[in-house]
Chains A and B, each alone.
Chain A
Amino acid sequence: MSSDSLRGLLGRPVTMRTDGGSAAFMRKVWAVAAKDVRAELRAKEVASTMIVFGLLAVVIFGLAFDLRVPKSSMVVPGILWVIVLFAGVLGLHRSFGAEVDRDTLAGLLLAPVEPSAIYFGKLASNLLYLFLLELFVLPVMLVMFDTNLFQFHILLGLSLGTLGYAEVGTFFAALTANSRARESMLPVLLLPVMVPVFMAGVSLTAGILDGRPVSGLVSWLVILAVFDTIFFVAAYWIVDLIWDGI
């Protein structure tokens, strides 16, 4: 190492490159997300656990309700959203928990990128895992409950709800990563805040399955979209505060 670069390391802190505009920011986000997905492809601990848990939950709900409910479409909306929330929380805490366990969080934070880029990268990988989970769960639910959930508005609501869930979930995962008992703390923090998404999602899905006119159900989609937007902006503003003392 040349003395010049050594002085560079010791004399001044590594400066963050904030130039390059949004394209450079997207590249940083992509780098973090790609790193996460690569680690996941090798370790196979997050997405696989979520999917297997999701399928298991479908079977358990199927056994629980099978002979007791006159029409399975009455319980399917609730089952779908409960599975997404519970399977999601199982994977979400790993996104920062794994970094803490392997002592790599400090390394990640030392990377010369904005904390928000780390957050959005993690958000992207978590979103991918959640969509993957839904990709497996929906067909199995079609078979188990004989209810077709592949309808445009249900899928749109599910996507919006999943986005909001990933936004808040990734944020809270970062928040709880350093606390004792983070595995049990995350659902306790996350689920009450997700109640609006859960209510809107269940009502929308139930309304579509009941064959009600879409015009009366648009307000649920609006709630989901506004929730996504506000928490997206809030997370972008506040995420820097999480790591500023570390």
Chain B
Amino acid sequence: MATTTSLQSKRSDPWYGPLLTLDVLAGLAMVVAIWAGLLFAKDATNLAGDEQIAQRIFYFHMGCNITATLGFLLSVIGSVGYLVRRTLVWDRIAQTGVEVGTLFAFGIMITGSIWAKPTWNTYWTWDPRLTTATITILIYLAYMLFRNGMDNRHTRARFASIYALFAFISVPFTYYSARIFRSIHPIVFDGANADAQGSFSIGPSMGQTLIITITCFTILFLALFFHRWRQLSLEARIEDLKEELYQ
């Protein structure tokens, strides 16, 4: 009996097939990303020993970086969208952006720390980029807590959107105030930071690998984003039905 109902719900849900496909794609994308990062990419030319091995985490670091940025960008778009349009669809985009973005931001932290130990000889240092990343994560954790504290859905959406805007203004300030100290974080694309430690240059196979892993992480991001977004939409529908029932 239980299987019949679950089968019926699968059939009646138009999103079931596409989402399952996306999940499988995301799983495959992670396999491809691991293959590209660990096997396909050639060694960096100027590194040796542990640093040479650690360097390969860069591809996953960048994958997380792009997707976290994407999530936070979507949260700002969703927040502005809500404040202009006042429909909860935008608010759900903002909330999903924050949640999935924060998840990938933790990915940035973890991969970065693992890389930093052999390269900088420490897991953590108060570098501008590290400081900014930490504060950003703290701000978005606060955002999630803040949402929990309010019951009315529209008040919650409005206040959370306002907070997201304020938080978004504060982040560049953190970056610039931290930047006045000397940075040791490598800048791979400009190569402009003379003080960077553990920097390496991008060869052709590295560039290709980077494109592959970023694409793969974006697929993973989309899968997680749609699942969470859909979950929130269903939650909202349950709320609507409850309100109708009690009236």
Contacts and interface: CB of A to CB of B under 8 A. Distances in A.
Interface stretch (A66-74, A123-131, A149-157, A184-192): A184-192
A234 B172 CA distance: 15
B150 A179 contact: yes
Contacts of A203: 177, 180
Interface in A160-185: 168, 171-172, 175-176, 178-182, 185
B208 interface: no
Contact of B169 (A219, A231, A241): A231
Interface stretch (B33-41, B105-113, B153-161, B183-191): B153-161
Contacts of A180: 149-151
Chain B contact-residue range equals 20 to 34
Contacts of B166: 168, 171-172, 193, 231, 234, 238
Contact of B173 (A176, A188, A196, A244): A196
A31 interface: no
A175 B159 CA distance: 6
Interface string A204-246: 0000000000000001100100110011001000100110110
A200 interface: yes
Interface of A is mostly: helix
Given A179-B159, A238-B162, A238-B165, A223 B173 contact: yes
A241 B158 contact: yes
Contact of B159 (A200, A226, A242): A242
B76 to A, nearest CB: 14
A10 interface: no
Interface string B166-182: 11011001101110100
B149 A179 contact: yes
Contacts of B167: 192-193
Interface of B is mostly: helix
A171 B56 CA distance: 45
Nearest to A198: B177
Nearest to A185: B149
A26 interface: no
A199 interface: yes
A189 B146 contact: yes
Contacts of B114: none
Given A241-B83, A241-B158, A245-B155, A185 B170 contact: no
Contacts of B131: 195, 199
B169 A230 contact: yes
A182 B131 CA distance: 27
14 contacts: A171-B166, A176-B149, A178-B150, A178-B155, A179-B159, A188-B142, A188-B145, A189-B146, A196-B173, A199-B178, A200-B177, A238-B165, A241-B83, A245-B154
Interface of B: 83, 131, 135, 138-139, 142, 145-146, 149-151, 154-155, 158-159, 162-163, 165-167, 169-170, 173-174, 176-178, 180
Interface of A: 168, 171-172, 175-176, 178-182, 185, 188-189, 192-193, 195-196, 199-200, 203, 219-220, 223, 226-227, 230-231, 234, 238, 241-242, 244-245
